[in-house]
């Protein structure tokens, strides 16, 4: 007798195995295999019979219509999606619990509903009353959003197929959905995949835009199979630190738009507020005049963003000094430290290094190297950097400062926010407009910048108590202290 096929599927990565085992060989996680009823594959005898249909091949050149978009009415959300929701597209929004996914989507659906579009919000996690309560708190209770607390995909699709097709459907969250077509329990990889598939098919067929909310695991991946990320048209991740009010919406994948844009929001008592000028926000609590901080003039997507980089270099008692980084790539930090040691004579091997990007932003640009190096040397030399200066430039392994793109935009933003000078790569100096409004200091090599900063400082511990006390106060990250003026 043929055995009913079932397989053991890793709930972390989606890999399937014939037998149970303690460790998933694909991703290395322990105790993540769960027995699930296998896909009832079509027998080979039936599959092989049909001859394929022929179709016409097209050329690359030819007419293409711009994807019709539906703006959400929230400029920061539209920036990340690339100008609004595309008809028939499916978007996955991931983020930690409590970060504000439901709040963001309640606001977006309400705004669209108020603009006269049919929008539906399906909550699988909260009862209708809870969703209403949130809408009330947001002052959006009057918006004509259609609500339901449902988890059966078949019921949802049947209901939504009636009447006018909704313009936007929010499914909060995909992990709570289940479909009859597979036997596994809700939340398992197979269920999540099958439910997502059914909803995506519905979106493509009817032209409704669907937003799926996805949970994230403790290491920040969107829970469930990676296949869902491959199936959807765009993946947005909603990030932020719980203790802070800023929330950053970042596009991780986008078939219809850019992937390097960020949208910045602030969580307030009345919901999420859009932050049109993030630089002002990230610099609002600067710790003026203390060593170890440098302002980086960065670019996020199409928008310049100034942000404070904070470094603390402290003597280490450990055999292997600590290197702790928040908001930047730790490999990149190691590289900058190595260049400082090898080419600039800065000995860091006996020091712990802590590095933080203020405001919870994550920086991926190599252009941050120069600002990071300036912050590190400033902390080590106990020499505060000029508070009216911004830094940008990439550092190469030879210790040279390499040019970076978009110099005029960076300088313009710095001038707008009242900065008076910019430290930039020698080769990009020519890119700067004549009326930049900033004094430009170009550096060709990192060693000249290091010498410049070190000349102004006193090495910590060289003299008595006072600088030590300063160093200790510097250990409190700037954002936990407010400085007036």
**Helix, strand or coil, per DSSP, at residue 435:** coil
Nearer to Mg ion, 77 or 449 (CB): 77
Which of 68, 97, 139, 144 is close enough to bind ligand TYD by CB under 6 A? 97
Q: Does 270 bind ligand TYD (CB under 6 A)?
A: yes
C-alpha–C-alpha distance, residues 340 and 335, integer Å: 9
Q: Per CB under 6 A, does 131 bind ligand TYD? A: no
Query: Binders of ligand TYD among 135-154, rule CB under 6 A?
Result: 137-138
Of 438, 436, 406, 408, whose CA–CA distance to 423 is shortest? 438
Angstrom distance (rounded) from CA 160 to CA 334: 53
312 binds ligand TYD (CB under 6 A): no
98 annotated as a binding-site residue: yes
Confirm or reject binding of residue 102 to Mg ion (CB under 5 A): yes
Nearest residue (beta carbon) to Mg ion:
102
146 in helix, strand or coil? Answer: strand
In Å, how far are 69, 70, 91, 257, 434 from 81, measured between CA atoms?
Answer: 10, 10, 9, 6, 35
Residue 457 annotated as binding site: no
Token duo for residue 414: 């710095």
| 485 is an annotated ligand-binding site residue | no
Residue closest to 133 by CA, chosen among 170, 102, 87: 102
Q: Does 293 bind Mg ion (CB under 5 A)?
A: no
Span near Mg ion by CB under 5 A; candidates 9-17, 96-104, 237-245, 434-442? 96-104
Please state the three-class secondary structure of 14-26 as a single string.
CCEECCCCCECCC
Give the pair of three-digit tokens for residue 141.
């209770």
For position 175 contacting ligand TYD by CB under 6 A, the verdict is: no
Q: Single out the segment in contact with Mg ion by CB under 5 A; choices: 102-110, 263-271, 298-306, 455-463.
A: 102-110
* Size of residue set near ligand TYD by CB under 6 A: 15
Question: Which residues lie below 8 Å from residue 357, measured CB to CB, with a gap of 6+?
Answer: 307, 308, 309, 310, 326, 327, 328, 363
- 136 burial via Cβ count (<10 Å: 0-12, 13-18, 19+): exposed
Q: Which of 14, 38, 82, 95 is close enough to bind ligand TYD by CB under 6 A? A: 95
Picked from Mg ion, ligand TYD, none, the partner binding residue 240 (CB below 5 to 8 A depending on kind) is: none
Name the binder of 378 from ligand TYD, Mg ion, none, CB < 5-8 A by kind: none
- The region of 60-68, 130-138, 454-462, 463-471 touching ligand TYD under the rule CB under 6 A is 130-138
Determine if 134 is a binding residue for ligand TYD (CB under 6 A). Answer: yes
Q: Taking CA 358 as the corner, what is the angle to CA 351 and CA 106, rounded to the nearest 5 degrees? A: 145
95 binds, among Mg ion, ligand TYD, none (CB under 5 to 8 A by kind): ligand TYD
Residues found near ligand TYD in the complex (CB under 6 A): 95, 97-103, 134, 137-138, 267, 269-271
Bind-site residues for ATP: 95-102
């Amino acid at each position: 007798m043929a055995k009913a096929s079932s397989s053991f599927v890793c709930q972390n990565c989606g890999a399937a195995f014939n037998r149970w085992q303690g460790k998933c060989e694909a991703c290395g996680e322990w105790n993540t295999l769960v027995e699930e009823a296998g896909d009832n594959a079509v027998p080979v005898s039936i599959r092989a019979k049909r001859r394929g249909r022929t179709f016409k091949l097209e050329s690359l050149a030819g007419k293409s219509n711009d994807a019709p978009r539906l703006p959400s009415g929230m400029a920061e959300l539209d920036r990340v999606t690339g100008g609004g929701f595309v008809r028939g597209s499916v978007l996955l929004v991931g983020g930690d619990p409590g970060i504000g996914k439901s709040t963001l989507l309640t606001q977006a659906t309400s705004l669209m509903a108020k603009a006269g579009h049919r929008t539906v919000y399906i909550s699988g996690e909260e009862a209708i009353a809870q969703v209403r309560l949130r809408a009330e708190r947001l002052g959006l209770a009057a918006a004509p959003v259609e609500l339901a607390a449902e988890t059966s995909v078949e019921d949802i699709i049947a209901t939504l197929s009636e009447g006018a097709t909704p313009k936007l459907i929010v499914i909060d969250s995909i992990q709570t959905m289940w479909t009859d077509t597979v036997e596994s329990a809700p939340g398992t990889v197979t269920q999540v995949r099958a439910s997502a598939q059914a909803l995506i098919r519905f979106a493509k067929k009817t032209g409704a835009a669907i937003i799926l909310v996805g949970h994230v695991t403790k290491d920040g991946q969107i829970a469930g199979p990676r296949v869902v990320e491959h199936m959807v048209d765009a993946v947005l991740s909603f990030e932020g630190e719980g203790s802070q009010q800023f929330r950053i919406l970042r596009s991780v994948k986008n078939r219809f738009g850019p992937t390097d844009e960020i949208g910045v929001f602030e969580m307030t008592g009345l919901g999420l507020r859009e932050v049109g000028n993030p630089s002002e926000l990230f610099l609002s609590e600067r710790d003026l005049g203390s060593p170890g901080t440098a302002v980086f003039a960065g670019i996020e997507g199409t928008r310049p963003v100034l942000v404070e980089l904070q470094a603390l270099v402290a003597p280490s008692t450990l055999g292997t000094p600590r290197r702790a980084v928040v908001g930047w790539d730790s490999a990149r930090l190691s590289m900058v430290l190595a260049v400082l040691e090898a080419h600039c004579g800065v000995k860091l091997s006996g020091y712990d290094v802590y590095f933080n990007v203020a405001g919870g932003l994550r920086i991926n640009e190599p252009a941050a190297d120069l600002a990071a190096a300036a912050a590190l040397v400033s902390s080590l030399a106990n020499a505060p950097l000029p508070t009216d200066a911004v830094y940008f430039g990439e550092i190469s392994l030879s210790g040279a400062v390499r040019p970076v793109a978009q110099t005029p935009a960076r300088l313009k933003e710095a001038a707008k926010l009242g900065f008076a000078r910019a430290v930039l790569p020698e080769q990009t100096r020519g890119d700067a407009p004549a009326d930049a409004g900033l004094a430009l200091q170009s550096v060709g090599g990192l060693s000249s910048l290091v010498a410049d900063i070190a000349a102004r400082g006193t090495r910590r511990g060289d003299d008595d108590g006072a600088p030590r006390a300063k160093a200790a106060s510097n250990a409190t990250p700037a954002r936990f202290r407010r400085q007036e003026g």
